[in-house]
Amino acid sequence: MSTGLPPTPTDVFTRLTNTLDAARTIVDRIGLRTYRSFLYREFYTGPRRKEGPITGVDWEEITPPPKIGFVSERRIASSGGQYHDGAVEASKISRTRRREELIGKTLYGQDTDDTEEFFWALVPKGQMWAELYNPASDAVLEPLFWRVVLNPANRQVRFVLDET
C-alpha cells in the first residue's frame, strides 16, 4: 500500500542508522556538540506570514544533535549570494529524518500553510536564547547523514529549555 510519501532509503547505510545515532549521542554527552538544534515554527492569525499576532509556536528538538559549523568566508563568497554572512552548516543529522522536515516542507514536499513560518533554532548549550536560521540549501543526503546550510534570520527567541 502506497502512502504517497517519498520512499525511505533502504541501503547498507540506513541499516547502520541506529548504531551511528548511538555514537552521535555519545559524542553529544561528552560535550562535543555545543548547540541544541530545533525545527521551529511560528503560526500567525493573519492571512499571510507575519500578518497579525503570533498565535503559537512549535519546536521539535533534533536528536542526536547535529554538528554545527560556520560556513567559511570563501564558501560564502563563491556561493553567488546563496549563503549570507554568518551562515552555518548543520551536518551529521540522523538519516531517520526526512529531507522535507529539514527544509520546512510538508511530508509530501509542498510548501507549508501561508500562516506558518519555519526556522531552525540553534541554542548554545546552557543558554536561553535561540538564534533563528532559514534553510539556504536543499538538505543533502550523504552516505551516513543529512546536511543542510542555514542562513541567519537575524532574530532571536527565548526558550525555557529542560537541560537534562
Which of the four pLDDT bands, split at 50, 70 and 90, describes residue 104? very high
Residue 6, preceding bond cis, omega within 30 degrees? no
pLDDT at 8: 59
Q: Could you give phi then psi for residue 41, rounded to 5 degrees?
A: -130, 140
Residue 64, preceding bond cis, omega within 30 degrees? yes
- Whether the pLDDT of residue 164 is over 50: the answer is no
pTM of the model: 0.84
Better pLDDT: 48 or 139: 139
In tens, the pLDDT along 115-158 reads 889 999 999 988 989 999 999 999 999 989 999 999 999 999 99
Rounded-to-integer distance, Cα 125 and Cα 128, Å? 8
- Whether the pLDDT of residue 110 is over 90: the answer is no
In tens, the pLDDT along 80-89 reads 999 999 999 9
Q: What's the mean pLDDT when you consider all of the chain?
A: 86
User: Please, how many CA atoms are within 13 Å of residue 138, restricted to the half-sphere of its CB?
Assistant: 5
Task: Report CA-CA distances (Å) from 101 to 77, 114, 135.
Answer: 28, 17, 11
Q: Where are the domains of the chain?
A: 12-157
DSSP 100-158: HHHTT--TTSPPPPTTEEEEEEEEETT-SEEEEEEE-S--EE-SS-EEEEEEEEEEEEE
